[in-house]
Amino acid sequence: MVKKNKFCNLIYTCLARGIAGLYKKDSNIKKEIDSLPDGFKINLGILTSGNYIGLIKTNNGLFIQKNGFEIADLNVYFKNVKATKRVMLARQSVAQSYSRHELIVGGDIARAMVLVRIINRVECYLFPRFMTKNILPKIKKQTCTIGVYMKVLFCSYKYKKGSK
């Protein structure tokens, strides 16, 4: 039995809450998420440690499924914990991770590009510019970072089965 990495669980949760929270606050993120069909399921995770989180697009935004879905339309997995931490802590971009063969994508690669752009934008909110300036292009923020932190801390965006 592989031991799950608690820290990775935490950062995945923060990222997922950041995405779900920014759906209603950032028009670019909303546009990207709205380009996915309702019911579209995404699993994000680490292949070797068993850390997974699921995201589902509904007509009311994006919601989170703890531990991921059994079957998803798009699976994006990191090969190891270190690679995950480098991306999730803004030490390298998703593109850099992809170019280092650290990412496995199961499903339509075009949909994965949507997710990459969403993660890039969310990271620009979650991290100060001095941390992201070498890995991500500057964005024009549409809401204040503190508001995003509040959503990450206090809104669970938990997916309730059956809601569309």
Comparing CB distances to another protein, the nearer of 15 and 112 is: 112
Closest to another protein by CB, 110 or 153: 110
Amino acid at 104: I
CB of 15 to another protein, least distance (A): 18
How many residues contact another protein, by CB under 8 A? 23
Chain positions 6 to 45 lying near another protein, rule: CB under 8 A, are none
Smallest distance from another protein to CB 112, Å: 7
Please report whether residue 164 would count as binding another protein according to CB under 8 A: no
Output the smallest distance, CB 74 to another protein, in A: 8
Which 86-145 residues touch another protein, going by CB under 8 A?
94-96, 98-101, 103-114, 116-117, 137
CB of residue 130 to another protein, shortest distance in Å:
19
Q: How far apart are the first and last CA of the chain?
A: 34
User: How far, CA to CA in Å, does 79 sit from each of 7, 76, 82, 89, 136?
Assistant: 16, 10, 9, 16, 22
User: Cβ distance 69 to 84 under 8 Å?
Assistant: no
> Cα–chain-centroid distance for residue 20?
9
Taking the CA atoms of residue 58, residue 151, residue 48 and residue 103 in that order, the dihedral angle to the nearest 10 degrees is 70
Neighbouring CB atoms inside 10 A of 25's CB total 16
The residues that touch another protein, with contacts defined as CB under 8 A, are 75, 94-96, 98-101, 103-114, 116-117, 137
